Amino acid sequence: MMSSAHAVRHGAIMAGRWQVLDAESPKGNDVAVTPRPGTRRGEPRSGAQRHEDELLHLLYEQHAGPLLMFVSRLTGGDMQRAEDIVQETLLRAWRNAHKLGVNGETSLRPWLVTVARRIAIDEFRSESARVTETYDRDLEAFPTTDETDRVLGMMTVVDALRALSDAHREILVETYFRGRSVPEAAQALGLPLGTAKSRVYYALRALRTALEERGVTR
Protein backbone atom coordinates (compact mmCIF):
# COMPACT_ATOMS: atom_id res chain seq x y z
CA MET A 1 0.00 0.00 0.00
CA MET A 2 1.45 3.38 -0.96
CA SER A 3 1.90 6.18 1.54
CA SER A 4 -0.36 9.24 1.44
CA ALA A 5 2.51 11.42 0.24
CA HIS A 6 3.29 8.96 -2.54
CA ALA A 7 -0.37 8.86 -3.52
CA VAL A 8 -0.55 12.64 -3.73
CA ARG A 9 2.51 12.76 -5.95
CA HIS A 10 1.12 9.95 -8.09
CA GLY A 11 -2.20 11.78 -8.36
CA ALA A 12 -0.47 14.91 -9.57
CA ILE A 13 1.44 12.93 -12.18
CA MET A 14 -1.76 11.19 -13.23
CA ALA A 15 -3.65 14.45 -13.62
CA GLY A 16 -0.85 15.80 -15.78
CA ARG A 17 -0.73 12.67 -17.88
CA TRP A 18 -4.44 12.93 -18.60
CA GLN A 19 -4.29 16.64 -19.32
CA VAL A 20 -6.43 17.60 -22.29
CA LEU A 21 -4.75 19.96 -24.72
CA ASP A 22 -5.69 21.85 -27.84
CA ALA A 23 -4.74 20.00 -31.00
CA GLU A 24 -2.52 22.93 -31.95
CA SER A 25 -0.85 23.22 -28.52
CA PRO A 26 2.98 23.11 -28.55
CA LYS A 27 2.89 20.67 -25.61
CA GLY A 28 2.82 17.51 -27.60
CA ASN A 29 3.70 15.10 -24.81
CA ASP A 30 0.22 14.96 -23.28
CA VAL A 31 -2.97 13.32 -24.42
CA ALA A 32 -4.79 15.46 -26.98
CA VAL A 33 -8.53 15.69 -27.28
CA THR A 34 -10.00 13.31 -29.81
CA PRO A 35 -11.81 15.42 -32.42
CA ARG A 36 -15.56 15.16 -32.27
CA PRO A 37 -17.42 13.60 -35.21
CA GLY A 38 -17.69 16.11 -38.02
CA THR A 39 -14.69 18.13 -36.82
CA ARG A 40 -11.53 17.96 -38.91
CA ARG A 41 -8.19 17.79 -37.12
CA GLY A 42 -6.56 21.21 -36.94
CA GLU A 43 -9.92 22.94 -37.36
CA PRO A 44 -10.56 25.69 -34.76
CA ARG A 45 -12.84 24.51 -31.99
CA SER A 46 -16.00 26.30 -30.98
CA GLY A 47 -16.41 28.15 -27.72
CA ALA A 48 -18.56 25.29 -26.39
CA GLN A 49 -15.83 22.75 -27.13
CA ARG A 50 -13.22 24.90 -25.41
CA HIS A 51 -15.54 25.21 -22.41
CA GLU A 52 -15.88 21.42 -22.23
CA ASP A 53 -12.11 21.01 -22.35
CA GLU A 54 -11.68 23.55 -19.55
CA LEU A 55 -14.32 21.73 -17.52
CA LEU A 56 -12.45 18.44 -17.88
CA HIS A 57 -9.25 20.21 -16.82
CA LEU A 58 -11.05 21.51 -13.74
CA LEU A 59 -12.41 18.09 -12.76
CA TYR A 60 -9.00 16.45 -12.93
CA GLU A 61 -7.26 19.32 -11.18
CA GLN A 62 -9.69 19.41 -8.26
CA HIS A 63 -10.54 15.75 -7.78
CA ALA A 64 -8.06 13.34 -9.43
CA GLY A 65 -5.50 13.25 -6.60
CA PRO A 66 -7.87 12.82 -3.61
CA LEU A 67 -10.06 10.38 -5.55
CA LEU A 68 -7.03 8.27 -6.47
CA MET A 69 -6.00 7.95 -2.82
CA PHE A 70 -9.52 6.76 -1.93
CA VAL A 71 -9.84 4.30 -4.84
CA SER A 72 -6.35 2.85 -4.29
CA ARG A 73 -7.59 1.54 -0.94
CA LEU A 74 -10.48 -0.21 -2.67
CA THR A 75 -8.12 -1.84 -5.19
CA GLY A 76 -5.65 -3.00 -2.57
CA GLY A 77 -2.92 -0.71 -3.88
CA ASP A 78 -3.34 -1.70 -7.55
CA MET A 79 -2.59 1.75 -8.97
CA GLN A 80 -3.23 0.87 -12.62
CA ARG A 81 -6.74 -0.28 -11.78
CA ALA A 82 -7.26 2.67 -9.46
CA GLU A 83 -6.23 5.11 -12.21
CA ASP A 84 -8.65 3.46 -14.65
CA ILE A 85 -11.50 3.76 -12.15
CA VAL A 86 -10.70 7.41 -11.40
CA GLN A 87 -10.51 8.22 -15.10
CA GLU A 88 -13.87 6.57 -15.80
CA THR A 89 -15.43 8.33 -12.80
CA LEU A 90 -14.27 11.78 -13.89
CA LEU A 91 -15.31 11.16 -17.48
CA ARG A 92 -18.82 10.26 -16.27
CA ALA A 93 -18.94 13.51 -14.32
CA TRP A 94 -17.79 15.39 -17.42
CA ARG A 95 -20.44 13.77 -19.61
CA ASN A 96 -23.16 14.60 -17.07
CA ALA A 97 -21.89 18.07 -16.19
CA HIS A 98 -25.13 19.73 -17.30
CA LYS A 99 -27.13 17.54 -14.88
CA LEU A 100 -24.71 17.86 -11.98
CA GLY A 101 -24.24 21.60 -12.27
CA VAL A 102 -20.46 21.22 -12.38
CA ASN A 103 -18.52 24.43 -11.90
CA GLY A 104 -15.59 25.71 -9.96
CA GLU A 105 -17.59 26.13 -6.74
CA THR A 106 -19.75 23.00 -6.70
CA SER A 107 -18.54 20.12 -4.50
CA LEU A 108 -18.83 16.87 -6.42
CA ARG A 109 -16.75 14.76 -4.04
CA PRO A 110 -19.63 12.70 -2.53
CA TRP A 111 -21.05 11.95 -6.00
CA LEU A 112 -17.61 11.05 -7.37
CA VAL A 113 -16.80 8.77 -4.44
CA THR A 114 -20.14 6.97 -4.82
CA VAL A 115 -19.61 6.42 -8.54
CA ALA A 116 -16.00 5.30 -8.05
CA ARG A 117 -17.03 2.79 -5.40
CA ARG A 118 -19.77 1.39 -7.65
CA ILE A 119 -17.30 1.02 -10.53
CA ALA A 120 -14.86 -0.77 -8.21
CA ILE A 121 -17.60 -3.13 -7.02
CA ASP A 122 -18.74 -3.84 -10.60
CA GLU A 123 -15.16 -4.59 -11.66
CA PHE A 124 -14.64 -6.87 -8.68
CA ARG A 125 -17.82 -8.80 -9.46
CA SER A 126 -16.96 -9.00 -13.16
CA GLU A 127 -13.48 -10.32 -12.42
CA SER A 128 -14.83 -12.87 -9.96
CA ALA A 129 -17.38 -14.03 -12.55
CA ARG A 130 -14.68 -14.48 -15.23
CA VAL A 131 -12.52 -16.51 -12.89
CA THR A 132 -15.34 -18.72 -11.66
CA GLU A 133 -16.28 -19.57 -15.23
CA THR A 134 -12.85 -21.15 -15.60
CA TYR A 135 -12.53 -22.61 -12.12
CA ASP A 136 -16.03 -23.75 -11.19
CA ARG A 137 -14.78 -26.02 -8.43
CA ASP A 138 -13.37 -23.00 -6.60
CA LEU A 139 -16.64 -21.07 -6.69
CA GLU A 140 -17.05 -21.06 -2.92
CA ALA A 141 -13.73 -19.27 -2.51
CA PHE A 142 -15.05 -16.08 -4.07
CA PRO A 143 -16.99 -13.44 -2.13
CA THR A 144 -20.72 -13.19 -2.65
CA THR A 145 -22.34 -9.95 -3.75
CA ASP A 146 -23.40 -9.17 -0.17
CA GLU A 147 -19.92 -9.96 1.13
CA THR A 148 -18.31 -7.71 -1.47
CA ASP A 149 -20.57 -4.82 -0.47
CA ARG A 150 -19.88 -5.48 3.21
CA VAL A 151 -16.10 -5.54 2.78
CA LEU A 152 -16.01 -2.39 0.67
CA GLY A 153 -18.43 -0.71 3.07
CA MET A 154 -16.18 -1.53 6.01
CA MET A 155 -13.16 -0.19 4.12
CA THR A 156 -15.04 3.07 3.63
CA VAL A 157 -15.87 3.26 7.35
CA VAL A 158 -12.23 2.62 8.30
CA ASP A 159 -11.12 5.33 5.87
CA ALA A 160 -13.63 7.75 7.42
CA LEU A 161 -12.45 6.88 10.94
CA ARG A 162 -8.89 7.77 9.95
CA ALA A 163 -10.10 11.26 9.09
CA LEU A 164 -11.34 11.87 12.65
CA SER A 165 -9.36 13.34 15.51
CA ASP A 166 -7.67 10.87 17.87
CA ALA A 167 -10.13 11.70 20.64
CA HIS A 168 -13.18 11.09 18.46
CA ARG A 169 -11.75 7.93 16.94
CA GLU A 170 -10.83 6.30 20.26
CA ILE A 171 -14.24 6.91 21.85
CA LEU A 172 -15.99 5.34 18.84
CA VAL A 173 -13.63 2.37 18.86
CA GLU A 174 -14.42 1.78 22.53
CA THR A 175 -18.20 2.16 22.28
CA TYR A 176 -19.04 0.78 18.83
CA PHE A 177 -16.24 -1.59 17.87
CA ARG A 178 -15.39 -3.00 21.30
CA GLY A 179 -19.01 -2.96 22.43
CA ARG A 180 -18.45 -1.07 25.66
CA SER A 181 -21.06 1.12 27.27
CA VAL A 182 -20.33 4.83 27.58
CA PRO A 183 -19.55 4.50 31.33
CA GLU A 184 -17.18 1.59 30.57
CA ALA A 185 -15.50 3.57 27.78
CA ALA A 186 -15.16 6.58 30.08
CA GLN A 187 -13.44 4.43 32.69
CA ALA A 188 -11.14 2.79 30.13
CA LEU A 189 -10.10 6.16 28.71
CA GLY A 190 -9.90 7.93 32.06
CA LEU A 191 -12.61 10.45 31.18
CA PRO A 192 -15.42 11.96 33.25
CA LEU A 193 -18.74 10.40 32.27
CA GLY A 194 -20.16 13.71 31.02
CA THR A 195 -17.12 14.28 28.82
CA ALA A 196 -17.42 10.77 27.38
CA LYS A 197 -21.10 11.27 26.54
CA SER A 198 -20.41 14.59 24.84
CA ARG A 199 -17.47 13.13 22.94
CA VAL A 200 -19.56 10.23 21.61
CA TYR A 201 -22.16 12.68 20.30
CA TYR A 202 -19.65 14.89 18.48
CA ALA A 203 -17.63 11.91 17.27
CA LEU A 204 -20.71 10.37 15.65
CA ARG A 205 -21.54 13.68 14.00
CA ALA A 206 -17.98 13.96 12.65
CA LEU A 207 -18.10 10.36 11.41
CA ARG A 208 -21.41 10.97 9.65
CA THR A 209 -19.91 13.96 7.85
CA ALA A 210 -16.81 11.96 6.87
CA LEU A 211 -18.98 9.16 5.49
CA GLU A 212 -21.13 11.59 3.50
CA GLU A 213 -17.96 12.99 1.94
CA ARG A 214 -17.20 9.42 0.84
CA GLY A 215 -20.59 8.90 -0.74
CA VAL A 216 -22.34 7.11 2.15
CA THR A 217 -25.65 8.85 2.78
CA ARG A 218 -27.58 6.36 4.85
Domains and CATH numbers, the chain: 1-34+45-153 (no CATH), 163-218 (1.10.10.10)
- Whole-angstrom Cα distance, residue 156 to residue 159? 5
Residues whose CB is less than 8 angstroms from the CB of residue 194 and which lie 6 or more positions away in sequence, other chains included: none
Indicate the pLDDT class of residue 190, thresholds 50, 70 and 90.
very high
pLDDT at 214 over 60: yes
- Which pLDDT tens digit goes with each residue over 76-128? 778 888 899 999 998 888 888 777 766 544 567 888 888 888 888 877 766 55
Give the pLDDT of residue 11. 43
Give the pLDDT of residue 186. 92
Q: What percent of the chain has pLDDT over 90?
A: 10
Residues 22-36 have a mean pLDDT of 36
- Which pLDDT tens digit goes with each residue over 47-65? 666 767 777 788 888 888 8
- Whole-angstrom Cα distance, residue 116 to residue 126? 15
Nearest one of 85, 8, 71 to 215, comparing CA atoms: 71
Give the pLDDT of residue 146. 56
DSSP sequence for 60-126: HHHHHHHHHHHHHHHTTT-HHHHHHHHHHHHHHHHHTHHHHT-SSS---HHHHHHHHHHHHHHHHHH
> Which of the pair, 152 or 168, is modelled with greater confidence?
168
Beta bridge partners of 76: none
DSSP state for residue 175 in the 8-state scheme: I
- Whole-angstrom Cα distance, residue 36 to residue 40? 8
pLDDT at 75 over 60: yes
- Which pLDDT tens digit goes with each residue over 134-144? 444 444 444 44
Give the pLDDT of residue 126. 64
pTM: 0.44
> Which H or E run includes 55?
helix 47-74
Give the pLDDT of residue 151. 62
